[in-house]
Amino acid sequence: MDIQSVGVIGAGQMGNGIAHVMALAGYDVVLNDVNQQSLDAAISQIQQNLARQVSKEKITQADLDGAIKRIRPSLSLPDVGGTDLVIEAATERETVKQAIFEDLLPHLKPTTILTSNTSSISITRLASRTDRPERFMGFHFMNPVPVMQLVELIRGIATDEETFQACKTVVDRLGKTAASAEDFPAFIVNRILMPMINEAVYTLYEGVGNVESIDLSMKLGANHPMGPLELADFIGLDTCLAIMNVLHDGLADTKYRPCPLLTKYVEAGWLGRKTQRGFYDYRGDTPVPTR
């Protein structure tokens, strides 16, 4: 099918990034959230990020103006129902996602494709709670969305080929690269990335190295652009823990057991950059290791 309009549910870090790239690629976007403040902040963030692209001469001022005009913020979930493709980018909690799809179903066009930006939750299970499992799939962007080139496309057990091809066409139009993944816990990127981060936390927990030495070792010893603990702070420690729990529960293998220290940080509310403290303290001019 020919997708012209996109509904994005959730105006947080991922949602506003998805709205940004969709509008820039020429799609009409309805950006939905339950909170007006979140919508206002998202539009402001999108404008700043587009302006940065203009200053770097990656896009023109006309591109910026056109993209902003194509984004319609809305507090009404039914407004999303009229779009050709819906991308849910709400909190990484299955009950929240299921409730959103349940509320959205009565307002959808028969042809609308439903997708979730989930980083770990079963696409097959989410799809089974809707009226269109064959037109449902995972559409997983990497963070930050305007910068990262990869999109994981995850087929549920019922996803049909037409739906996959329609979503792949969207990814191609965005100028990004699609990786096809099967519907197993955490898919490809997080199945590999999160255990590495978890192992870095165990290395800290067991006193093998401190925060600085662990991150330095992976940056200079493995040529990673960011150390694993610094990356965990960027992603959000609550998100890292949630994905490790999905892996541990879904695959029943002790190698995916979340490190107790990761759990402790989340219990303390030290979730990384978004709360100003995680494995680093961000409240000063320069990040300072907390261990």
Q: Which residues are annotated as a binding site for NAD(+)?
A: 10-15, 33, 92, 97, 119, 143, 274
Sign of CA dihedral 226, 230, 235, 237: positive
DSSP 207-270: TSS-HHHHHHHHHHHS--SS-HHHHHHHH-HHHHHHHHHHHHHHH--GGGPPPHHHHHHHHTT-
Annotated active-site residue 140? The verdict is: yes
Annotated active-site residue 119? The verdict is: yes
Amino acid symbol at 86? V
Annotated active-site residue 55? The verdict is: no
Annotated active-site residue 182? The verdict is: no
- What whole-number distance in Å separates Cα of residue 86 and Cα of residue 13? 17
Bridge partners for 289 per DSSP: 280
Q: Which residues are annotated as a binding site?
A: 10-15, 33, 92, 97, 119, 143, 274
Contact 119, 89 (CB under 8 A): no
Sheet (strand 28-32) strand order:
71-74, 28-32, 5-9, 85-88, 113-116, 136-141, 150-155, 177-182
- Which of 88, 190, 198, 230 is an active site residue? 190
- Which of 16, 49, 116, 119 is an active site residue? 119
Cβ neighbours around 222 below 10 Å, total: 10
- Which of 88, 94, 152, 230 is an active site residue? 152
Question: Which residues are part of the catalytic machinery?
Answer: 119, 140, 152, 190
